[in-house]
Structure 1
Amino acid sequence: MVEPEEIEGMADALGAVTHDEIVELAQELAYKREENIPDEEEITIMLEKAVSKHLLEAISIEELSEADAKNSEDVNYYIVGPHAFPKFPFDLSEVIDILKLARREVDPYKITKRFSGRLKARITKLRHNIEDFANGDNDSIDIPTLENRYSDLLNLYYDYDSWLEGEITEMEDEILDISKQIDALGAAQDI
């Protein structure tokens, strides 16, 4: 069976790869290895786990370089994420040749813009959660929940900051300010 790290290697080797291409690559690789050929559902589950763990990230055609965007379908693509440790399967280049796949280039500026936008949305959502808690508008939010969400946000910020080619450091002060807000709310409740 194809390993998750090998799927990361496929994405890394091709720059950006579609779901269908990963399925074809994984199935052809298994065939060449004389292993059981995984079905599409198995590979889809593996891809979903990889995205949830930031081993792979999903992008759209808009984040491809202009030349690649013109020659591609309007589908989603996977790229190597900040937690990836790609492993390149032994027969990968041969399988890529068999399937006649070409490398796609992503636009680093557009990638930074997309993922900094996602991070900004999470900052905004956490600020709303803090506001709801402070106003007593949401009984399902408590200080430990806010702290966990903040921890996830901070970890994601540092992952993106080391992974993205553009600067997102301007968000650091905003994120640290959220920590102070949560600490103040906790102190007010004597937590």
Structure 2
Amino acid sequence: MRRRDLLAGALALAAAPAAARPLMPLHQTSREILSPPFVDGGGRALSLADFRGRVVVLNIWATWCAPCREEMPTLDRLQARLGGDDFHVLPLSIDQAGLGPVRRFYEQIGIRHLDMYLAEEIRAMFAFAVIELPTTLLIDRQGRERGRLTGPAQWDSPEAIAQFQTVIAERGR
């Protein structure tokens, strides 16, 4: 395949609507991941270690990021469908203005199932190797990165739910 054809294919994928994007690519082997400190909606200090034992979809986003805003309802529906002792959607905002804009955004669009989390922007982007928003990481029960997707997605699609259910069903991997 010629270089121009590869570039055209990549551009077409980037321009495709979120629902048309492929599922989250999984790594061949899980990877160690750093965990900068962050706070929940009540100001309680947390890290990814607090979620060990659960499969976590970590979504790094900000209220000023248009694609992030568009995909947030799909993350809310994903949490409503799969959230519990084995699975958690962790929407980690990097808004510099704090939790206020996140609260207002949740209220404006009717987010009901997602908790609020906030991290310092530069620290989170460096620790999670984020170069574009949104970036979503799939973290296994041992706190290791299993997959990553840069850009928005339809997180409550049947394909995404099936992929997450498969990872949730894996025990002791």
TM-score category, normalised to shorter length: under 0.3
- Greater RCO (Cα-Cα under 8 Å, separation 6 or more): 2
- Structure 2-normalised TM-score? 0.23
Q: Which has the higher helix share?
A: 1
- Structure 1-normalised TM-score? 0.21
